[in-house]
């Protein structure tokens, strides 16, 4: 047997909806507004009832006016002051036979979806740009070689070595993108085990040895004795350390100093990498962990950077339950830090 909903049921349903709902009579006076609508317009309980549509404001007012006049449904996306969220507003007529008896307006918060759309299109734009730059350069050099430059063996060798560098940059970019996406999509299963951080830092210092000596940098490692083991996926931890040390080396002038510290703080082990490099301006500090963000695009690209290194660091550390931080003074140097949980 069908059950007829009474007002109590309808009130409960309305109160539980995430979307704001307001119903109007044929004169545009509010008959009912649910809790989400009251929150949206920052008013107390039942304060919207009896208000006219004019009191709600500009664009919504004209949408409701149109629905009451013509009986068509209308949609719009708008910011509703003083809120910063974007709402999709859908207004439908309430009809009996041919008469328009009133209107219902539904307000849905679509901010996350719109931000996601924007991030996605920025990301695609950035990737395309990063791929196009080395490809254009490779194409240019190959054409010049085919046009006759390959007859001169010195020029040929020089151009081929540029093509080699650019190809390497392309493959590094693609590798970095795959690393990011595999961690983000949780496709790369994180396999944390008790790991000796000191051992990892020493092995990464060894791997980076040639770059360190090429720039005559002084690299120091300071560590507490008996440092606790940490819970981490060793390959990913190495990637974090490599990316941070790579930056410290890249952005520090010759004969500069890099200090790696590891110490315990409560239930975490903190690793910091301090350099005496160029530093990062204050207004860029909070952006350096964003994908593709580079303080000085030209300089970083010249050094082979794609701007993904720190985004990868942040993802790996946060997916281990740790945190990243940065402090810097332009012209003096920077300190990047990561934390991991102790075993």
Binding positions for Mg ion, rule: CB under 5 A: 247, 309
Q: How far is the CB of 176 from ligand ATP (least distance, A)?
A: 6
Of residues 273 through 292, those in contact with ligand ATP by CB under 6 A are 275, 277-280, 288
Q: Among 94, 300, 316, 338, which residue interacts with ligand ATP (rule: CB under 6 A)? A: 300
**Which residues, listed in sequence order, are joined to residue 99 by a DSSP beta bridge?**
96
CA atoms within 13 A on the CB side of 86: 10
For residue 102, the SS3 value is: strand
Where does residue 274 fall: left (phi above 0), alpha (psi -120 to 50 degrees), or beta otherwise?
A: beta
Residue 334 interacts, among Mg ion, ligand ATP, none and using kind-specific CB cut-offs from 5 to 8 Å, with: ligand ATP
Q: Among 34, 179, 271, 306, which residue interacts with ligand ATP (rule: CB under 6 A)? A: 306
CA distance 238 to 173: 18
CA distance 221 to 73: 68
CA distance 320 to 191: 10
Of residues 8 through 47, those in contact with ligand ATP by CB under 6 A are none
- CA nearest to 229, candidates 201, 266, 197: 197
- Contact between residue 60 and residue 90 where contact means Cβ atoms under 8 Å apart: no
Q: How far is the CB of 302 from ligand ATP (least distance, A)?
A: 10
The residue (of 34 and 239) whose beta carbon lies closer to Mg ion is 239
The residue (of 28 and 305) whose beta carbon lies closer to ligand ATP is 305
Q: Among 28, 134, 305, 322, which residue interacts with ligand ATP (rule: CB under 6 A)? A: 305
The residue (of 99 and 235) whose beta carbon lies closer to ligand ATP is 235
Binding span for ligand ATP by CB under 6 A among 104-112, 139-147, 157-165, 294-302? 294-302
Dihedrals φ, ψ of 216, to 5°?
50, 45
Binding span for ligand ATP by CB under 6 A among 22-30, 130-138, 153-161, 244-252? 244-252
Q: Site mask, ligand ATP, residues 308-327, x = CB under 6 A? A: xxxx----------------
The residue (of 63 and 258) whose beta carbon lies closer to ligand ATP is 258
C-alpha torsion 151→155→156→160, nearest 10: -170
> Residue with the closest Cβ to Mg ion?
309
Residue with tokens 């036979």: 97
Q: How far is the CB of 334 from ligand ATP (least distance, A)?
A: 4
Q: How far is the CB of 324 from ligand ATP (least distance, A)?
A: 11
Residue with tokens 């020493």: 202
Cβ density class 191-210: b for 16+ within 10 Å, e for less: ebeebebbebbeebbeebee
Count of residues in contact with ligand ATP, rule CB under 6 A: 24
- Contact between residue 93 and residue 67 where contact means Cβ atoms under 8 Å apart: yes
Residue 296, interface with ligand ATP (CB under 6 A)? yes
How many CB atoms are closer than 10 A to CB 161?
11
Where on the chain is the footprint of ligand ATP (CB under 6 A)?
Answer: 176, 243, 247-248, 251, 275, 277-280, 288, 293-296, 300, 305-311, 334
């Amino acid at each position: 047997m069908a059950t007829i909903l009474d007002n109590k049921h309808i009130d409960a349903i309305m109160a539980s909806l995430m979307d704001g709902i307001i119903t109007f009579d044929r004169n545009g006076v509010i008959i009912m507004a649910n809790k989400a609508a009251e929150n949206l317009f920052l008013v107390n309980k039942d304060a919207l009832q009896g208000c006219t549509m004019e009191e709600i404001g500009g664009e919504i007012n004209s949408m409701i006016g149109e629905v009451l006049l013509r009986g068509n449904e209308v949609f719009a996306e708008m910011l509703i002051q003083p809120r910063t969220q974007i709402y999709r507003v859908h207004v439908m007529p309430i009809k009996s036979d041919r008469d328009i008896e009133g209107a219902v307006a539904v307000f849905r918060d679509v901010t996350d979806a719109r931000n996601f759309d924007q991030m996605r299109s920025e990301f695609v734009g950035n990737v395309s740009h990063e791929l196009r730059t080395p490809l254009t350069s490779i194409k240019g050099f190959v054409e010049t070689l085919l046009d006759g430059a390959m007859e001169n063996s010195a020029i040929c060798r020089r151009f081929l070595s540029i093509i080699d560098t650019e190809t390497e940059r392309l493959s590094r970019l693609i590798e970095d993108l795959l690393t990011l996406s595999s961690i983000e999509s949780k496709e790369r299963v994180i396999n944390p085990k008790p790991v000796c951080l000191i051992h990892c830092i020493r092995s990464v210092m060894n791997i980076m040895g040639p770059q360190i000596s090429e720039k005559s940098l002084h690299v120091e490692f300071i560590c507490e004795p008996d440092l606790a083991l940490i819970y981490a996926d060793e390959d990913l931890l190495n990637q974090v350390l490599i990316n941070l040390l790579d930056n410290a080396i890249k952005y520090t002038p010759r004969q500069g100093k890099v200090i790696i510290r590891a110490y315990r703080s409560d239930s975490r082990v903190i690793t910091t990498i301090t350099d005496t490099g160029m530093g990062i301006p204050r207004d860029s500090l909070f952006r350096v962990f964003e994908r593709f963000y580079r303080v000085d695009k030209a300089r970083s690209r010249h050094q082979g950077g794609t701007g993904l290194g720190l985004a990868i660091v942040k993802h790996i550390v946060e997916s281990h339950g740790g945190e990243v931080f940065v402090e810097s003074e332009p012209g003096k140097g920077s300190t990047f830090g990561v934390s991991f949980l102790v075993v």
